[in-house]
Amino acid sequence: MELLYKKIEEKDKEQLFKLIDIVLGGLPDQAHFIPYEQWELDSMLDEFKKEFNLTEYKVCELGGNLVLPEYRGKGITTKLQTMEMKLAKELGFDYIISMAHPDNIGSCKTLERIGLEFVKETTLSNGFLRKLYMKKL
Ligand SMILES: CC(C)(COP(=O)(O)OP(=O)(O)OC[C@H]1O[C@@H](n2cnc3c(N)ncnc32)[C@H](O)[C@@H]1OP(=O)(O)O)[C@@H](O)C(=O)NCCC(=O)NCCS
């Protein structure tokens, strides 16, 4: 199977929304995915930085991965996150952080495989239980 990694364009919008509906509608537990909009993302990253004791650093968060069920387990997320980590380093970020629900095996596995280290398990202010992972770039 040949995979094409590309940035999403305006014309991909409908397909993207369909992907979001399918994946989020089929989650084994809704707590596996934190739904957020841009303003929430902005304030969340500040909270995440505090949780990791990284407020002084330029920090990039890996997250929001959605793969259709029939394409899972083929290394798509592992490869994408490896590319994202390389890009973050090129862009001058100091740390990569990420978090996953403890029962979300696919998420935890990909983060550990690309070299992030488990920091701690915590409940975020929005009530979501998460395993926190980080890596110095
Ligand atoms: C999490 C997710 C993005 C992973 O994507 P992916 O492209 O399948 O990931 P990869 O193929 O790179 O790696 C997943 C690994 O976890 C394993 N895995 C996934 N679910 C598993 C389960 N329930 N039990 C055991 N292993 C599991 C896969 O077998 C694979 O390991 P392997 O290569 O050693 O076989 C995908 O499962 C998904 O879209 N989940 C629903 C949305 C979600 O929860 N997103 C994460 C929140 S940010």
> Domains of the chain by range and CATH?
10-136 (3.40.630.30)
- Going from the Cα of 28 to the center of ligand 1, the distance in angstroms, rounded, reads 12
| Ligand 1 centre distance from Cα of residue 56 (Å) | 32
Q: Which residues line ligand 1 (CB under 6 A)?
A: 23, 27, 32-33, 63-67, 72-78, 104-107, 109-110
Q: How confident is the model at residue 41 (pLDDT cuts 50, 70, 90)?
A: confident
Q: Does residue 36 or residue 31 have the better pLDDT? A: 31
- Span 65-111, pLDDT tens digits: 999 999 999 999 999 999 999 999 999 999 999 999 999 999 999 99
Which residue bears the tokens 């395993």? 131
Is the entire prediction scored with pTM above 0.75? yes
Nearest Cα neighbor of 85 from 20, 133, 37, 36 is 133
* pLDDT at res. 135: 97
Of all protein residues, the one whose alpha carbon is nearest to atom 20 of ligand 1 is 106
Quick one: how far is CA 68 from the chain centroid? 15
